[in-house]
């Protein structure tokens, strides 16, 4: 990784931390309570596109850890967020590597599995299966927000110069 | 990385899988709503903190670290369709002395620990209660 790439990677990481903080502060009631746009995940898609799987694999975890250090702390929310991010990252990598899905399919699957990972962690932490029924709403919102984020990222990529050589 | 920016059939396949996932969890939701009569709600400081089922044996442990209003560790046990407070710390231990409860609509209230257990639902006991009334 060249110095230029390190700087650009750091820039993307900082951007995603800030965006996740904004979403944490201003909870926009989209579709269902708890559902988020996933602006930080959109930055993750840019990282996947420009830097590849290797750097994308650690991007989500770095963002969650940095957000915890800076603002949210290492409480229950950290583990819920981390589980969602890990599951979404694994899914995104598998789909990007082994299928010919476009940025839309990758984004939608990542958004759905992000919600699913969080719900699974809540079910484990609170020892209740009740939250699993919430997967229905998170899956529907995941399809919609995943599509929207992919739309934004696809447009950004078309308009932005090729930043990583 | 070479990622297509145009939608294709694989994307549609992913959305179909998501739809199947939704149907699957709707089915689970329906299953749980049908078994609502078996729900036991555990309240702590007037908030539901845990849900148990009369038909599923389980021990729920509440620690003082997580629930600071508790006088000490509390253990709630569901066994053979009944629920009780198995272990608790209170001045006269009334909470655990109450023993097993299984009737829908009844509750175990442990005020010293700010804990209340409610067996959800309604069960007709056949008793015609008349407040203060003596026949």
Interface contact flag, B25 A102, Cβ < 8 Å:
no
Cα distance between residue B18 and residue A115, in whole Å: 12
ipTM field: 0.74
Compute the nearest-CA separation of B115 from chain A (Å). 17
Which has more confidence, B3 or B132? B3
Cβ neighbours of residue B42 under 8 Å, at least 6 residues apart?
B48, B49, B50, B51, B52, B60, B62, B76, B115, B116, B117
**B66 interfacial to chain A (CB closer than 8 Å):** no
Q: Are strands B115-119 and B39-44 parallel, antiparallel or unpaired?
A: antiparallel
Residue pair B110/B95 in contact (Cβ under 8 Å)? The answer is yes
Angstrom distances, CA of residue A149 to CA of A118, A127, A140: 19, 32, 14
**B11 interfacial to chain A (CB closer than 8 Å):** yes
Provide the pLDDT for residue B134: 37
Cβ neighbours of residue B65 under 8 Å, at least 6 residues apart?
none
Retrieve residue A144's tokens.
């919609």
B74-111: burial string, b at 16+ Cβ within 10 Å, e else: bebbbeeebbbbbbbbbeeeebbebeebeebeeebebe
**B60 interfacial to chain A (CB closer than 8 Å):** yes
How many CB atoms are located within 10 Å of the residue B47 CB? 8
Compute the nearest-CA separation of A83 from chain B (Å). 19
Give pLDDT tens digits for B78-122.
988 889 999 998 887 878 888 888 877 778 888 888 898 988 765
CB-CB neighbors (< 8 A) of B6 in chain A: 102
Confidence of residue A60 (pLDDT cuts 50, 70, 90): very high
Compute the nearest-CA separation of A95 from chain B (Å). 10
DSSP letters spanning B73-107: -EEEEEETTEEEEEE---SS-HHHHT--B-STT-E
Query: Phi/psi zone of residue B80: left (φ > 0), alpha (ψ -120 to 50 degrees), beta?
Result: left
Closest by Cβ to B25, choosing from A101, A128, A135: A135
Mutation target for A interface from B19, B21, B61, B78: give the one with most A CBs within 10 A: B21
DSSP letters spanning B34-74: HTGGGEEEEEETTEEEEEEETTS-EEEEE-TTTSTTSSS-E
Cα distance between residue A58 and residue A44, in whole Å: 10
Sheet bearing B74-79, strands edge to edge = B58-62, B74-79, B82-87
- In sequence order, the β-bridge partners of residue B41 are B51, B118
CB-CB neighbors (< 8 A) of A140 in chain B: 22
Q: What percent of chain A has pLDDT over 70?
A: 88
Collapsed DSSP state (helix, strand, coil) of residue B133: coil
Retrieve residue A141's tokens.
């919102």
Retrieve residue A134's tokens.
């919430």
Interface contact flag, B22 A139, Cβ < 8 Å:
yes
If you search the block for the tokens 């509440």, which residue do you land on?
B62
Q: Are strands B74-79 and B82-87 parallel, antiparallel or unpaired?
A: antiparallel
Provide the pLDDT for residue B54: 83
Confidence of residue B131 (pLDDT cuts 50, 70, 90): very low
Cα distance between residue B60 and residue A73, in whole Å: 27
Provide the pLDDT for residue A150: 93
Q: What percent of chain A has pLDDT over 90?
A: 44
Provide the pLDDT for residue B132: 42
pTM: 0.65
How many CB atoms are located within 10 Å of the residue A165 CB? 7
């Amino acid at each position: 990784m060249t110095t230029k790439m390190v700087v650009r990677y750091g820039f993307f990481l900082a951007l995603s931390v800030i965006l996740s903080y904004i979403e944490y502060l201003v909870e926009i009631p989209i579709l269902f309570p708890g559902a988020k746009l996933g602006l930080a995940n959109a930055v993750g898609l840019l990282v996947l596109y420009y830097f590849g799987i290797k750097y994308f694999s650690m991007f989500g975890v770095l963002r969650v850890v940095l957000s915890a250090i800076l603002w949210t702390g290492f409480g229950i929310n950290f583990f819920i967020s981390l589980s969602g991010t890990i599951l979404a990252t694994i899914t995104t990598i598998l789909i990007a590597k082994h299928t010919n899905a476009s940025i839309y399919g990758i984004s939608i699957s990542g958004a759905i599995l992000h919600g699913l990972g969080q719900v699974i962690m809540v079910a484990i932490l609170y020892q209740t299966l009740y939250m699993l029924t919430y997967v229905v709403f998170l899956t529907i919102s995941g399809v919609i927000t995943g599509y929207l984020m992919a739309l934004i990222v696809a447009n950004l990529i078309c308009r932005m110069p090729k930043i990583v050589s | 990385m070479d990622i297509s920016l145009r939608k294709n059939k694989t994307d549609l396949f992913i959305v179909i899988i998501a739809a199947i996932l939704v149907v699957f969890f709707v089915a689970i939701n329906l299953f749980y709503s049908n078994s609502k009569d078996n729900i036991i709600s555990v309240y702590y400081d007037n908030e539901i903190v845990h849900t148990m089922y009369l038909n599923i044996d389980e021990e729920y442990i509440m620690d003082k670290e997580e629930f600071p209003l508790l006088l000490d560790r509390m253990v709630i046990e569901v066994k053979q369709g009944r629920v009780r407070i198995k272990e608790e710390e209170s001045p006269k231990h009334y909470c655990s002395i109450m023993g097993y409860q299984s009737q829908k609509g009844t509750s175990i209230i442990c005020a010293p620990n700010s804990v209340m257990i409610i067996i959800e639902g309604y069960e007709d006991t056949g008793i015609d209660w008349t407040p203060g009334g003596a026949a």
